[in-house]
Amino acid sequence: MKNNFFEAVKGKLIISCQALPNEPLHSSFIMARMARAAKMAGAAGIRANSVVDIQAIQDEAGLPMIGIAKTDYPDSDVFITPTLKEMRAVAATGVEVVACQVTGQRRPHDEKLAEIVQQFRTEFPNTLLMADTDTIENALEADRLGFDMIGTTMRGYTPATQGMNIADHDFEYLKELRSQVTRPIIAEGKIDTPEKLKRCLELGCHAVVVGGAITRPLEIATRFIEAIK
Amino acid sequence: MKNNFFEAVKGKLIISCQALPNEPLHSSFIMARMARAAKMAGAAGIRANSVVDIQAIQDEAGLPMIGIAKTDYPDSDVFITPTLKEMRAVAATGVEVVACQVTGQRRPHDEKLAEIVQQFRTEFPNTLLMADTDTIENALEADRLGFDMIGTTMRGYTPATQGMNIADHDFEYLKELRSQVTRPIIAEGKIDTPEKLKRCLELGCHAVVVGGAITRPLEIATRFIEAIK
Protein backbone atom coordinates (compact mmCIF):
# COMPACT_ATOMS: atom_id res chain seq x y z
CA MET A 1 0.00 0.00 0.00
CA LYS A 2 1.27 3.45 -0.93
CA ASN A 3 1.78 6.00 1.77
CA ASN A 4 -0.64 8.86 2.31
CA PHE A 5 1.60 11.56 0.90
CA PHE A 6 -1.03 12.86 -1.51
CA GLU A 7 -3.56 13.39 1.24
CA ALA A 8 -1.03 15.12 3.49
CA VAL A 9 0.06 17.73 0.95
CA LYS A 10 -3.16 18.31 -1.01
CA GLY A 11 -3.67 22.04 -1.62
CA LYS A 12 -0.67 22.86 0.52
CA LEU A 13 2.86 24.23 0.53
CA ILE A 14 5.95 22.05 0.45
CA ILE A 15 9.14 23.91 1.31
CA SER A 16 12.39 22.99 -0.33
CA CYS A 17 15.36 23.22 2.06
CA GLN A 18 18.52 22.97 0.01
CA ALA A 19 22.03 24.40 0.11
CA LEU A 20 24.62 22.92 -2.22
CA PRO A 21 28.32 22.77 -1.23
CA ASN A 22 29.01 26.14 -2.88
CA GLU A 23 26.14 27.90 -1.04
CA PRO A 24 26.60 29.89 2.18
CA LEU A 25 24.13 27.78 4.22
CA HIS A 26 25.54 24.40 3.16
CA SER A 27 25.15 22.28 6.32
CA SER A 28 22.79 19.50 7.35
CA PHE A 29 22.44 21.18 10.74
CA ILE A 30 21.24 24.38 9.09
CA MET A 31 18.89 22.56 6.71
CA ALA A 32 17.31 20.77 9.67
CA ARG A 33 16.72 24.15 11.34
CA MET A 34 15.27 25.47 8.06
CA ALA A 35 12.89 22.52 8.10
CA ARG A 36 11.98 23.40 11.69
CA ALA A 37 11.12 26.92 10.51
CA ALA A 38 9.09 25.47 7.63
CA LYS A 39 7.15 23.23 9.97
CA MET A 40 6.52 26.04 12.45
CA ALA A 41 5.12 28.16 9.61
CA GLY A 42 2.75 25.36 8.60
CA ALA A 43 4.41 23.69 5.63
CA ALA A 44 2.89 20.30 4.77
CA GLY A 45 6.08 18.73 3.50
CA ILE A 46 9.77 19.24 2.83
CA ARG A 47 11.85 18.69 -0.27
CA ALA A 48 15.55 18.11 0.39
CA ASN A 49 18.75 17.17 -1.38
CA SER A 50 21.29 14.52 -0.34
CA VAL A 51 21.01 11.60 2.02
CA VAL A 52 22.59 13.48 4.95
CA ASP A 53 20.26 16.47 4.66
CA ILE A 54 17.24 14.20 4.28
CA GLN A 55 18.14 12.24 7.40
CA ALA A 56 18.82 15.37 9.45
CA ILE A 57 15.47 16.82 8.38
CA GLN A 58 13.58 13.59 9.06
CA ASP A 59 14.92 13.60 12.61
CA GLU A 60 13.96 17.25 13.07
CA ALA A 61 10.64 17.78 11.35
CA GLY A 62 8.81 14.51 10.91
CA LEU A 63 7.01 15.83 7.82
CA PRO A 64 6.36 13.99 4.53
CA MET A 65 9.38 14.40 2.29
CA ILE A 66 10.41 14.53 -1.33
CA GLY A 67 14.04 13.44 -1.55
CA ILE A 68 16.54 14.08 -4.32
CA ALA A 69 20.27 13.59 -4.80
CA LYS A 70 21.80 16.14 -7.14
CA THR A 71 24.82 14.49 -8.75
CA ASP A 72 26.95 15.62 -11.65
CA TYR A 73 28.19 13.07 -14.18
CA PRO A 74 30.66 13.99 -16.89
CA ASP A 75 28.64 12.27 -19.62
CA SER A 76 25.22 13.84 -18.95
CA ASP A 77 23.38 17.08 -18.17
CA VAL A 78 20.83 15.16 -16.09
CA PHE A 79 21.69 15.88 -12.46
CA ILE A 80 18.60 15.49 -10.25
CA THR A 81 18.75 11.93 -8.90
CA PRO A 82 20.07 10.94 -12.31
CA THR A 83 20.82 7.22 -11.99
CA LEU A 84 19.38 4.17 -10.27
CA LYS A 85 22.23 4.42 -7.75
CA GLU A 86 21.02 7.79 -6.41
CA MET A 87 17.37 6.70 -6.56
CA ARG A 88 18.17 3.73 -4.35
CA ALA A 89 20.20 5.81 -1.89
CA VAL A 90 17.43 8.39 -1.51
CA ALA A 91 14.67 5.78 -1.23
CA ALA A 92 16.64 3.91 1.43
CA THR A 93 16.24 6.91 3.76
CA GLY A 94 12.54 6.14 3.87
CA VAL A 95 11.34 9.35 2.21
CA GLU A 96 7.80 9.19 0.89
CA VAL A 97 8.78 10.42 -2.58
CA VAL A 98 11.90 10.20 -4.71
CA ALA A 99 12.09 12.83 -7.44
CA CYS A 100 14.21 12.46 -10.55
CA GLN A 101 14.85 14.55 -13.60
CA VAL A 102 12.76 13.67 -16.66
CA THR A 103 13.86 16.05 -19.39
CA GLY A 104 14.41 13.78 -22.38
CA GLN A 105 18.16 14.20 -22.21
CA ARG A 106 20.69 11.38 -22.33
CA ARG A 107 21.24 9.98 -18.82
CA PRO A 108 24.59 9.07 -17.21
CA HIS A 109 26.01 5.74 -18.41
CA ASP A 110 23.23 5.92 -21.03
CA GLU A 111 20.78 4.45 -18.49
CA LYS A 112 17.25 4.17 -19.87
CA LEU A 113 14.57 5.80 -17.75
CA ALA A 114 11.97 3.10 -18.48
CA GLU A 115 14.36 0.42 -17.26
CA ILE A 116 15.52 2.09 -14.09
CA VAL A 117 11.96 3.04 -13.14
CA GLN A 118 10.88 -0.57 -13.57
CA GLN A 119 13.82 -1.82 -11.50
CA PHE A 120 13.15 0.81 -8.82
CA ARG A 121 9.50 -0.23 -8.56
CA THR A 122 10.56 -3.81 -7.89
CA GLU A 123 12.96 -2.78 -5.14
CA PHE A 124 10.91 0.02 -3.53
CA PRO A 125 7.23 -0.73 -4.17
CA ASN A 126 6.07 1.65 -1.43
CA THR A 127 8.03 4.70 -2.52
CA LEU A 128 6.35 7.26 -4.75
CA LEU A 129 8.11 8.70 -7.77
CA MET A 130 8.01 12.32 -8.87
CA ALA A 131 9.18 13.45 -12.31
CA ASP A 132 11.02 16.79 -12.49
CA THR A 133 10.01 17.82 -16.00
CA ASP A 134 10.50 20.78 -18.31
CA THR A 135 8.01 20.40 -21.19
CA ILE A 136 4.60 18.91 -21.95
CA GLU A 137 6.31 16.22 -24.03
CA ASN A 138 8.51 15.10 -21.15
CA ALA A 139 5.64 15.33 -18.69
CA LEU A 140 3.63 13.01 -20.95
CA GLU A 141 6.57 10.61 -21.09
CA ALA A 142 6.68 10.59 -17.27
CA ASP A 143 2.93 9.95 -17.25
CA ARG A 144 3.40 6.98 -19.59
CA LEU A 145 6.26 5.58 -17.50
CA GLY A 146 4.00 5.57 -14.46
CA PHE A 147 5.50 8.34 -12.34
CA ASP A 148 3.10 9.07 -9.49
CA MET A 149 3.28 12.85 -9.83
CA ILE A 150 4.50 15.37 -12.35
CA GLY A 151 6.67 18.25 -11.21
CA THR A 152 7.42 21.37 -13.25
CA THR A 153 10.80 21.72 -11.56
CA MET A 154 12.98 21.82 -14.66
CA ARG A 155 11.01 24.33 -16.73
CA GLY A 156 13.40 27.15 -17.52
CA TYR A 157 16.43 25.07 -16.64
CA THR A 158 16.94 23.01 -19.83
CA PRO A 159 18.19 24.13 -23.24
CA ALA A 160 14.68 23.57 -24.62
CA THR A 161 13.09 25.89 -22.05
CA GLN A 162 15.75 28.51 -21.45
CA GLY A 163 14.28 31.86 -20.40
CA MET A 164 10.86 30.34 -19.71
CA ASN A 165 9.07 30.71 -16.39
CA ILE A 166 5.97 28.75 -15.43
CA ALA A 167 4.40 32.01 -14.27
CA ASP A 168 4.50 33.49 -17.80
CA HIS A 169 1.10 34.63 -19.12
CA ASP A 170 -0.73 33.80 -15.90
CA PHE A 171 0.68 30.28 -15.74
CA GLU A 172 -0.38 29.38 -19.28
CA TYR A 173 1.97 26.39 -19.19
CA LEU A 174 0.35 24.97 -16.04
CA LYS A 175 -3.10 25.20 -17.61
CA GLU A 176 -1.90 23.35 -20.72
CA LEU A 177 -0.07 20.76 -18.64
CA ARG A 178 -3.12 20.09 -16.55
CA SER A 179 -5.26 19.50 -19.62
CA GLN A 180 -2.87 16.84 -20.86
CA VAL A 181 -1.51 14.78 -17.96
CA THR A 182 -3.50 12.47 -15.75
CA ARG A 183 -1.29 12.39 -12.65
CA PRO A 184 -1.29 15.04 -9.93
CA ILE A 185 0.86 18.06 -10.75
CA ILE A 186 3.34 19.48 -8.25
CA ALA A 187 4.18 23.05 -9.24
CA GLU A 188 7.82 23.87 -8.62
CA GLY A 189 10.38 26.29 -9.97
CA LYS A 190 10.71 30.06 -9.56
CA ILE A 191 7.56 30.35 -7.45
CA ASP A 192 8.77 33.33 -5.47
CA THR A 193 5.69 35.12 -4.12
CA PRO A 194 2.68 34.14 -2.00
CA GLU A 195 0.46 35.26 -4.90
CA LYS A 196 2.08 32.77 -7.31
CA LEU A 197 1.71 29.99 -4.76
CA LYS A 198 -1.99 30.75 -4.45
CA ARG A 199 -2.48 30.92 -8.19
CA CYS A 200 -0.84 27.52 -8.78
CA LEU A 201 -3.29 25.93 -6.37
CA GLU A 202 -6.25 27.73 -7.94
CA LEU A 203 -5.19 26.27 -11.29
CA GLY A 204 -5.50 22.77 -9.89
CA CYS A 205 -1.98 21.79 -8.90
CA HIS A 206 -2.02 19.19 -6.19
CA ALA A 207 0.67 20.95 -4.16
CA VAL A 208 3.36 23.58 -4.65
CA VAL A 209 7.06 23.55 -3.81
CA VAL A 210 8.69 26.85 -2.87
CA GLY A 211 12.40 26.89 -2.19
CA GLY A 212 14.79 29.76 -2.77
CA ALA A 213 12.28 32.50 -1.98
CA ILE A 214 12.06 31.18 1.57
CA THR A 215 15.23 29.24 2.35
CA ARG A 216 17.98 30.85 0.27
CA PRO A 217 18.91 34.19 1.91
CA LEU A 218 21.62 34.82 -0.69
CA GLU A 219 19.01 34.66 -3.45
CA ILE A 220 16.57 36.87 -1.52
CA ALA A 221 19.24 39.42 -0.55
CA THR A 222 20.40 39.60 -4.14
CA ARG A 223 16.95 40.76 -5.19
CA PHE A 224 17.15 43.60 -2.64
CA ILE A 225 20.64 44.59 -3.79
CA GLU A 226 19.58 44.55 -7.46
CA ALA A 227 16.88 47.12 -6.67
CA ILE A 228 19.44 49.72 -5.54
CA LYS A 229 22.28 49.09 -7.96
CA MET B 1 38.87 59.60 15.41
CA LYS B 2 35.57 57.96 14.56
CA ASN B 3 35.53 54.95 12.26
CA ASN B 4 34.43 55.21 8.65
CA PHE B 5 31.13 53.43 9.12
CA PHE B 6 29.10 56.21 7.51
CA GLU B 7 31.14 56.12 4.35
CA ALA B 8 30.99 52.32 4.10
CA VAL B 9 27.20 52.07 4.32
CA LYS B 10 26.10 55.27 2.56
CA GLY B 11 23.20 54.52 0.21
CA LYS B 12 23.49 50.82 0.89
CA LEU B 13 21.83 47.83 2.48
CA ILE B 14 22.64 46.57 5.97
CA ILE B 15 21.31 43.10 6.66
CA SER B 16 20.15 42.17 10.13
CA CYS B 17 21.03 38.58 11.04
CA GLN B 18 19.15 37.70 14.21
CA ALA B 19 17.51 34.64 15.72
CA LEU B 20 16.39 34.81 19.33
CA PRO B 21 16.44 31.69 21.56
CA ASN B 22 12.81 30.89 20.66
CA GLU B 23 13.43 31.10 16.90
CA PRO B 24 14.20 28.08 14.69
CA LEU B 25 17.56 29.38 13.47
CA HIS B 26 18.90 30.36 16.89
CA SER B 27 22.62 29.57 16.62
CA SER B 28 25.74 31.69 16.25
CA PHE B 29 26.98 29.23 13.64
CA ILE B 30 23.87 29.80 11.54
CA MET B 31 23.97 33.58 11.99
CA ALA B 32 27.58 33.60 10.78
CA ARG B 33 26.50 31.70 7.67
CA MET B 34 23.62 34.16 7.20
CA ALA B 35 26.18 36.94 7.32
CA ARG B 36 28.22 35.08 4.72
CA ALA B 37 25.15 35.00 2.48
CA ALA B 38 24.58 38.72 3.13
CA LYS B 39 28.15 39.56 2.20
CA MET B 40 28.03 37.40 -0.94
CA ALA B 41 24.88 39.26 -2.02
CA GLY B 42 26.62 42.60 -1.55
CA ALA B 43 25.39 43.90 1.81
CA ALA B 44 27.47 46.78 3.15
CA GLY B 45 27.02 45.96 6.82
CA ILE B 46 25.47 43.57 9.31
CA ARG B 47 23.28 44.18 12.33
CA ALA B 48 23.39 41.44 14.95
CA ASN B 49 22.16 40.64 18.43
CA SER B 50 24.20 39.26 21.36
CA VAL B 51 27.92 39.18 21.97
CA VAL B 52 28.32 35.60 20.73
CA ASP B 53 26.52 36.23 17.44
CA ILE B 54 28.45 39.46 16.89
CA GLN B 55 31.77 37.72 17.43
CA ALA B 56 30.88 34.79 15.17
CA ILE B 57 29.82 37.22 12.43
CA GLN B 58 32.91 39.39 12.82
CA ASP B 59 35.09 36.31 12.27
CA GLU B 60 33.07 35.26 9.24
CA ALA B 61 32.17 38.41 7.33
CA GLY B 62 34.52 41.24 8.22
CA LEU B 63 31.84 43.83 7.45
CA PRO B 64 30.98 46.97 9.45
CA MET B 65 28.52 46.05 12.18
CA ILE B 66 25.73 47.47 14.29
CA GLY B 67 25.61 45.49 17.51
CA ILE B 68 22.75 45.15 19.96
CA ALA B 69 21.98 43.02 23.00
CA LYS B 70 18.28 42.34 23.46
CA THR B 71 17.70 41.86 27.18
CA ASP B 72 14.47 41.66 29.14
CA TYR B 73 14.24 43.30 32.56
CA PRO B 74 11.21 42.84 34.79
CA ASP B 75 10.92 46.55 35.56
CA SER B 76 10.99 47.93 32.00
CA ASP B 77 9.69 47.49 28.45
CA VAL B 78 12.98 48.78 27.03
CA PHE B 79 14.81 45.73 25.70
CA ILE B 80 17.24 46.71 22.92
CA THR B 81 20.62 47.17 24.63
CA PRO B 82 18.67 48.70 27.51
CA THR B 83 21.32 49.43 30.15
CA LEU B 84 24.92 50.60 30.32
CA LYS B 85 25.90 47.01 31.11
CA GLU B 86 24.75 45.71 27.68
CA MET B 87 26.13 48.79 25.90
CA ARG B 88 29.56 48.06 27.34
CA ALA B 89 29.41 44.36 26.48
CA VAL B 90 28.44 45.05 22.88
CA ALA B 91 31.01 47.84 22.44
CA ALA B 92 33.74 45.59 23.85
CA THR B 93 33.35 43.31 20.81
CA GLY B 94 34.71 46.13 18.70
CA VAL B 95 31.58 46.71 16.61
CA GLU B 96 31.52 50.05 14.80
CA VAL B 97 28.06 50.95 16.15
CA VAL B 98 26.10 50.14 19.30
CA ALA B 99 22.35 50.60 18.94
CA CYS B 100 20.03 51.13 21.87
CA GLN B 101 16.35 51.70 22.30
CA VAL B 102 15.26 55.34 22.63
CA THR B 103 11.52 55.30 23.06
CA GLY B 104 10.90 57.57 26.02
CA GLN B 105 9.95 54.66 28.25
CA ARG B 106 11.32 54.08 31.74
CA ARG B 107 14.60 52.13 31.53
CA PRO B 108 15.65 49.19 33.75
CA HIS B 109 16.84 50.24 37.23
CA ASP B 110 15.49 53.65 36.25
CA GLU B 111 18.76 54.43 34.44
CA LYS B 112 18.71 57.82 32.75
CA LEU B 113 19.60 57.79 29.07
CA ALA B 114 21.50 61.11 29.22
CA GLU B 115 23.71 59.75 32.00
CA ILE B 116 24.50 56.37 30.46
CA VAL B 117 25.23 57.93 27.08
CA GLN B 118 27.66 60.35 28.69
CA GLN B 119 29.35 57.55 30.63
CA PHE B 120 29.53 55.38 27.50
CA ARG B 121 31.17 58.18 25.51
CA THR B 122 33.90 58.43 28.13
CA GLU B 123 34.59 54.71 28.03
CA PHE B 124 34.17 54.09 24.29
CA PRO B 125 35.01 57.34 22.50
CA ASN B 126 35.48 55.59 19.13
CA THR B 127 32.21 53.67 19.07
CA LEU B 128 29.24 55.19 17.28
CA LEU B 129 25.79 55.21 18.85
CA MET B 130 22.54 54.52 17.03
CA ALA B 131 19.14 55.32 18.56
CA ASP B 132 16.34 52.84 17.86
CA THR B 133 13.41 55.26 17.97
CA ASP B 134 9.66 55.14 17.44
CA THR B 135 8.45 58.76 17.14
CA ILE B 136 9.65 62.18 16.01
CA GLU B 137 9.73 63.26 19.65
CA ASN B 138 12.05 60.44 20.67
CA ALA B 139 14.18 60.89 17.55
CA LEU B 140 14.64 64.55 18.50
CA GLU B 141 15.60 63.51 22.02
CA ALA B 142 18.23 61.15 20.55
CA ASP B 143 19.46 64.00 18.38
CA ARG B 144 19.80 66.25 21.45
CA LEU B 145 21.63 63.53 23.39
CA GLY B 146 24.20 63.30 20.64
CA PHE B 147 23.43 59.91 19.13
CA ASP B 148 25.39 59.60 15.88
CA MET B 149 22.50 58.20 13.86
CA ILE B 150 18.75 57.87 14.18
CA GLY B 151 17.09 54.53 13.47
CA THR B 152 13.37 54.03 12.93
CA THR B 153 13.60 50.52 14.34
CA MET B 154 10.94 50.81 17.04
CA ARG B 155 8.18 52.47 15.00
CA GLY B 156 5.18 50.16 15.26
CA TYR B 157 6.62 48.32 18.26
CA THR B 158 5.75 50.68 21.12
CA PRO B 159 2.35 51.43 22.71
CA ALA B 160 2.51 54.92 21.19
CA THR B 161 3.00 53.59 17.65
CA GLN B 162 1.06 50.35 17.65
CA GLY B 163 -0.23 49.44 14.19
CA MET B 164 1.98 52.00 12.48
CA ASN B 165 4.38 51.13 9.69
CA ILE B 166 7.04 53.47 8.36
CA ALA B 167 5.90 52.61 4.83
CA ASP B 168 2.41 54.07 5.44
CA HIS B 169 1.40 56.79 2.94
CA ASP B 170 4.58 56.46 0.89
CA PHE B 171 6.83 56.73 3.94
CA GLU B 172 5.25 59.95 5.18
CA TYR B 173 6.91 59.44 8.55
CA LEU B 174 10.38 59.24 7.04
CA LYS B 175 9.85 62.51 5.18
CA GLU B 176 8.74 64.24 8.38
CA LEU B 177 11.61 62.73 10.36
CA ARG B 178 14.14 63.88 7.80
CA SER B 179 12.86 67.43 7.93
CA GLN B 180 13.34 67.53 11.70
CA VAL B 181 16.51 65.68 12.69
CA THR B 182 20.07 66.64 11.82
CA ARG B 183 21.81 63.25 12.14
CA PRO B 184 21.84 60.59 9.44
CA ILE B 185 18.74 58.40 9.42
CA ILE B 186 18.97 54.62 9.25
CA ALA B 187 15.63 53.22 8.06
CA GLU B 188 14.75 49.99 9.81
CA GLY B 189 11.61 48.07 10.67
CA LYS B 190 9.20 46.14 8.42
CA ILE B 191 11.11 46.94 5.24
CA ASP B 192 10.16 43.76 3.47
CA THR B 193 10.47 44.39 -0.27
CA PRO B 194 13.24 45.60 -2.61
CA GLU B 195 10.92 48.46 -3.63
CA LYS B 196 10.65 49.72 -0.05
CA LEU B 197 14.41 49.56 0.36
CA LYS B 198 14.86 51.66 -2.77
CA ARG B 199 12.24 54.19 -1.68
CA CYS B 200 13.87 54.72 1.73
CA LEU B 201 17.15 55.61 0.04
CA GLU B 202 15.41 57.91 -2.44
CA LEU B 203 13.90 59.75 0.51
CA GLY B 204 17.34 60.50 1.86
CA CYS B 205 17.99 57.83 4.46
CA HIS B 206 21.69 57.24 4.91
CA ALA B 207 21.32 53.45 4.87
CA VAL B 208 18.60 50.84 5.31
CA VAL B 209 18.46 47.78 7.55
CA VAL B 210 16.47 44.78 6.29
CA GLY B 211 16.16 41.76 8.51
CA GLY B 212 13.28 39.33 8.66
CA ALA B 213 12.42 39.53 4.97
CA ILE B 214 15.83 38.06 4.18
CA THR B 215 17.07 36.15 7.21
CA ARG B 216 13.96 34.86 8.96
CA PRO B 217 12.57 31.92 6.94
CA LEU B 218 9.79 31.36 9.48
CA GLU B 219 8.53 34.90 8.89
CA ILE B 220 8.82 34.57 5.11
CA ALA B 221 7.18 31.14 5.01
CA THR B 222 4.35 32.42 7.17
CA ARG B 223 3.51 34.99 4.50
CA PHE B 224 3.25 32.22 1.92
CA ILE B 225 1.05 30.11 4.18
CA GLU B 226 -1.22 33.07 4.97
CA ALA B 227 -1.92 33.46 1.24
CA ILE B 228 -3.47 30.01 0.98
CA LYS B 229 -5.27 29.76 4.32
**A interface with B, Cβ–Cβ below 8 Å:** 11-13, 15, 23-25, 27, 29-30, 33-34, 36-38, 40-43, 194-195, 197-198, 201, 210, 213-218, 220-228
ipTM of the complex, rounded to two decimals: 0.96
Do A45 and A4 form a contact (C-beta atoms < 8 A)? no
Do A65 and A96 form a contact (C-beta atoms < 8 A)? yes
b/e per residue B47-56 (b: at least 16 CB within 10 A): bbbbbebbbb
- Residue A125 host element (H or E): none
- Of B38, B41, B218, nearest to A37 by CB-CB distance is B218
**CA–CA dist A218, A128 (Å, integer):** 32
pLDDT at B5: 97
Q: Does the beta-carbon distance from A24 to B37 stay under 8 Å? A: yes
pLDDT at A1: 43
Q: What crossing angle do the helices spanning B168-180 and B194-202 adopt, rounded to 10°? A: 30
Q: Which domains does chain B have, with CATH numbers?
A: 2-227 (3.20.20.70)
- Of B11, B33, B42, nearest to A27 by CB-CB distance is B33
Give every residue of chain B whose pLDDT is below 70, as ranges: 1-3
- Closest Cα partner for B120 from B134, B105, B109, B131? B131
pLDDT digits (tens, 9 = 90+) for B17-74: 999 999 999 999 999 999 999 999 999 999 999 999 999 999 999 999 999 999 999 9
Q: What crossing angle do the helices spanning A28-41 and B217-227 adopt, rounded to 10°? A: 40
Give every residue of chain A whose pLDDT is below 50, as ranges: 1
pLDDT at B1: 43
